[in-house]
Amino acid sequence: MVTTTSPIKAESRDLNFYYSNGHKALKGISMPLYEKRITALIGPSGCGKSTFLRCFNRMHDLYPGNSYDGQIVMHPDNTNILDNGVDPIEVRMRISMVFQKPNPFPKSIYENVAYGLRVRGERNKRVVDDKVEEALKGAALWDEVKNRLHDLAFNLSGGQQQRLCIARALATDPEIMLFDEPTSALDPIATANIEELMSELRNKLTILVVTHNMQQAARVSDYTAYMYLGELIEYDDTDKIFTNPSRKETEDYITGKFG
Ligand SMILES: Nc1ncnc2c1ncn2[C@@H]1O[C@H](COP(=O)(O)OP(=O)(O)OP(=O)(O)O)[C@@H](O)[C@H]1O
ipTM: 0.97
Give the pLDDT score at 64: 92
Is 25 close to ligand 1, i.e. is its CB under 6 Å away?
yes
Residue 1 lies in a domain: no
Q: Per-residue pLDDT tens for 65-91? A: 999 999 999 999 999 999 999 999 889
Residue 259 lies in a domain: no
44 C-alpha to ligand 1 centroid (Å) = 11
Q: Per-residue pLDDT tens for 163-213? A: 999 999 999 999 999 999 999 888 898 899 899 999 999 999 999 999 999
Residue 3 lies in a domain: no
Residue 236 lies in a domain: yes
Is 45 close to ligand 1, i.e. is its CB under 6 Å away?
yes
45 C-alpha to ligand 1 centroid (Å) = 8
| Closest ligand 1 atom to 41 CA | 21
Confidence bin at 2 (pLDDT 50/70/90): confident
Residue 110 lies in a domain: yes
What residues form DSSP beta bridges with 248?
none
As a whole number, mean pLDDT of residues 223-251 equals 97
Give the pLDDT score at 187: 87
47 C-alpha to ligand 1 centroid (Å) = 7
Confidence bin at 259 (pLDDT 50/70/90): low
Q: How far apart are CA 255 and CA 218, in angstroms?
A: 13
Is 15 close to ligand 1, i.e. is its CB under 6 Å away?
no
Confidence bin at 256 (pLDDT 50/70/90): confident
Is 64 close to ligand 1, i.e. is its CB under 6 Å away?
no
Residue 21 lies in a domain: yes
Is 159 close to ligand 1, i.e. is its CB under 6 Å away?
no
> For the ranges 28-42, 104-118, 245-259, which has the lowest average pLDDT?
245-259
Q: Per-residue pLDDT tens for 100-154? A: 999 999 999 999 999 999 988 999 999 999 999 999 999 999 999 999 999 999 9
Residue 2 lies in a domain: no
Q: What is the CATH number of the domain that holds 184?
A: 3.40.50.300
Number of domains in the chain: 1
Domain of residue 94, residue span: 8-254
Is 51 close to ligand 1, i.e. is its CB under 6 Å away?
yes
Mean pLDDT value across the chain: 94
Give the pLDDT score at 123: 93
60 C-alpha to ligand 1 centroid (Å) = 12
| Closest ligand 1 atom to 227 CA | 21
Give the pLDDT score at 120: 87
Residue 104 lies in a domain: yes
Is 23 close to ligand 1, i.e. is its CB under 6 Å away?
yes
Residue 10 pLDDT more than 80? yes
Angle between helices 158-170 and 188-201 (to 10 degrees): 20
